[in-house]
């Protein structure tokens, strides 16, 4: 929040917040080929002329296409497009500020922890390119060098799914109290247990759909919650409102479809209901009916390992009202199994400040699993490791989470602050990180042959304890 205020100042200083001057006129070099070779030549304070050829058409447009337009385009989740030269020129100072401070593209994991897949962060060179372009007056460049417009398909990109699911009817959120979190129950009606290898989410109203989380329900709990709440789905904030029996991952803008490595599968018990939580963002000022879809693809090959999730969680904390840096911890000292860790999903609510999850190896060495130093409730998700982590039998887990439950936290849901405990509501807190893993080492060509079909039939991963992993098959 504090950062946003700084950015508003940037807008004001550069005058680009003003809606009355949509087109920059005199403050940048005229565009077009007539400018010849002088375009982009600048004299540095030292006096030496430096030829800089960075322009919108030759470099900056490409960075915006690759790194920004998943959200900053017509109908995208960001409040303005960054597609045309005018778009970029109008926001040049804010763009530079947001990329230099690494607030955009949004990515909340610390780089010092682990390399994550789908990390959208700009390289140092891309940030420098944008900075130099702005310093040089943000020239347009030669229109002939402009890359073709990037297209963003609104169709299944990971192939036609075996089981396409959709919300039962279109849902139009009511933003009168801010953002809306809603859960939709989608029956699978499958008659046997299945292994899932691919999950793709297709948001309907992209300008509103901020993120999606997929839970599984093998009971009638979600349907009962749905029946009690008028309209499609039911209100749900921090979680789906029932005891979890499993999940199928999630989606945020820019995520690719989730495809498990060969040989791994997620269990989809027969007749389970997929409960889809959608966060609708009020920020774009757009209101339209949404039908978000989920495409599920089943395993074609035998599965060697079940991809499953277990949490490290503290549900018994009390965060005193007024505390601005309150630490909640949890640890699992000894896990009696070796695992291959693929992903981590840290989760807190609105007073969360930072969270770290660490593994301790049997020899005492520490491995960072997740470090979100500046928690932002609106930018959360599942992080997949670039290289899955091997944790040997006897490893331990520890979690540290910090909360700001003071009046100084503009996101505090209570004014005046109240003591906060575990719960599903907007005014409650959570302290949890889900680990996505398989038992045993990675599936290799050798182990695939040896272990063919060693996996037991899918078991709905109930809230099993880490300790229960002992004795389970690799
Ligand atoms: C994953 C979606 C996403 C991506 C990718 C993304 N943005 Fe944004 N951007 C947003 C949203 C949403 C906002 C509105 C503020 C917010 O919700 O945090 C925003 C706001 C901004 C702002 C205004 C700052 C403010 O707080 O008002 C600038 C400038 C910006 N983005 C630039 C960029 C640039 C440059 C890139 C690429 C290098 C980029 N963004 C990539 C979603 C995105």
DSSP result, 242-270: S----EEEEE-TTPPPEEPPTTEEEEE-T
Distance 339 CA to ligand 1 centre (A): 36
| Domain residue limits at 464 | 306-469
Distance 253 CA to ligand 1 centre (A): 11
pLDDT of residue 52: 53
Question: Is 158 a member of any domain?
Answer: no
Do 319 and 292 share a structural domain?
A: no
Do 116 and 55 share a structural domain?
A: yes
Do 181 and 129 share a structural domain?
A: no
Burial 166-205 (b: 16+ CB within 10 A, else e): bbeeebebebeeebbbbbbbbebebeeebbbbbbbbbbbb
Do 447 and 330 share a structural domain?
A: yes
Distance 356 CA to ligand 1 centre (A): 25
pLDDT of residue 35: 34
Atom of ligand 1 nearest to the CA of 77: 12
Distances (CA, A) of 426 to 180, 373, 402: 11, 22, 18
Distance 87 CA to ligand 1 centre (A): 13
| Domain count across the chain | 3
Atom of ligand 1 nearest to the CA of 126: 38
Do 373 and 457 share a structural domain?
A: yes
Which residues approach ligand 1 with their CB closer than 6 A? 4, 7, 67-68, 70-72, 77-79, 82, 91, 94-95, 98-99, 104-106, 120, 122, 253-254, 283
Residue 379 class from Cβ within 10 Å (0-12 exposed, 13-18 middle, 19+ buried)? middle
Rounded distance, CA 265 to CA 456, Å? 12
pLDDT of residue 242: 83
Do 269 and 413 share a structural domain?
A: no
Rounded distance, CA 422 to CA 431, Å? 8
Question: Is 155 a member of any domain?
Answer: no
pLDDT of residue 455: 38
pLDDT of residue 2: 36
Distance 25 CA to ligand 1 centre (A): 25
pLDDT in tens, the chain (474 residues): 333 333 332 322 222 223 333 333 333 333 333 333 333 344 444 444 444 589 999 999 999 999 999 999 998 889 999 999 999 999 999 999 999 999 999 999 999 999 999 899 999 999 999 999 999 999 999 999 999 999 988 889 889 999 999 998 999 999 998 899 999 999 999 999 999 999 999 999 999 999 999 999 999 999 999 999 999 999 998 888 887 777 898 888 878 899 998 899 999 999 999 999 999 998 878 889 999 999 999 999 889 999 988 889 999 999 999 999 999 999 999 998 899 999 999 999 999 999 999 999 999 999 999 999 999 988 888 899 999 999 999 999 999 999 999 999 999 999 999 999 998 888 899 999 999 999 987 776 555 444 433 333 333 333 346 766 765 543
Question: Is 152 a member of any domain?
Answer: no
Question: Is 417 a member of any domain?
Answer: yes
């Amino acid at each position: 929040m504090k950062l946003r205020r700084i950015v508003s100042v940037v807008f004001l200083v550069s005058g680009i917040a003003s809606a009355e001057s949509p087109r920059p006129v005199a403050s940048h070099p005229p565009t077009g080929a007539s400018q010849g070779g002088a375009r982009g030549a600048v004299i540095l304070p030292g006096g030496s002329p430096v030829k800089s050829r960075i322009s919108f058409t030759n470099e900056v447009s490409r960075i915006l296409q690759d790194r920004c337009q998943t959200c900053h385009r017509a109908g995208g989740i960001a409040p303005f497009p960054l597609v045309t030269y005018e778009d970029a020129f109008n926001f040049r100072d804010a763009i530079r500020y947001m990329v230099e401070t690494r607030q955009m593209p949004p990515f909340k994991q610390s780089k010092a922890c682990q390399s994550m897949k789908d990390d959208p962060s700009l390289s140092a060179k891309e940030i420098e390119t944008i900075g130099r372009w702005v310093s040089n007056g943000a020239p347009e460049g030669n229109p002939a060098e402009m890359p073709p417009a990037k297209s963003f398909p609104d169709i299944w990109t990971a192939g036609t799914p075996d089981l396409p699911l959709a919300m039962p009817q279109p849902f139009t959120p009511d933003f009168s109290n801010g953002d809306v979190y809603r859960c939709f129950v989608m029956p699978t009606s499958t008659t046997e247990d299945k292994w899932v290898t691919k999950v793709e989410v297709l948001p309907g109203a992209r300008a509103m759909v901020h993120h999606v989380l997929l839970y599984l329900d093998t009971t009638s709990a979600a349907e009962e919650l749905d029946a009690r709440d008028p309209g499609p789905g039911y209100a749900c904030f921090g979680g789906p409102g029932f005891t979890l029996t499993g999940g199928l991952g999630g989606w945020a803008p820019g995520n690719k479809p989730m495809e498990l490595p060969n040989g791994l599968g997620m269990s989809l018990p027969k007749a389970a209901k997929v409960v889809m939580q959608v966060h609708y963002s009020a920020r774009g000022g757009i209101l339209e009916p949404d039908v978000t879809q989920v495409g599920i693809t089943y395993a074609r090959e035998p599965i060697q390992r079940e991809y499953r999730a277990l949490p490290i969680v503290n549900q018994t904390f009390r965060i005193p009202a007024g505390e601005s840096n309150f630490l909640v911890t949890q640890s699992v000292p000894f896990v009696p199994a070796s695992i291959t860790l693929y992903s981590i999903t840290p989760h807190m609510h609105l007073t969360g400040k930072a969270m770290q999850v660490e593994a301790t190896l049997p020899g005492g060495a520490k491995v960072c699993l997740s470090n979100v130093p500046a928690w932002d409730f609106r930018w959360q998700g599942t992080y997949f490791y670039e290289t899955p982590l091997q944790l040997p039998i006897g490893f331990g887990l520890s979690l540290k989470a910090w909360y700001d439950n003071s009046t100084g936290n503009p996101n505090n849901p209570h004014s005046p602050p109240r003591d906060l405990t575990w719960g599903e509501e907007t005014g409650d807190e959570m302290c949890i990180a889900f680990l996505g893993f398989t038992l045993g080492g990675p599936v290799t060509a050798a182990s695939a042959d040896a272990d063919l079909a060693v996996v037991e039939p899918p078991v709905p991963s109930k809230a099993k304890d880490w300790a229960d992993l002992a004795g389970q098959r690799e």
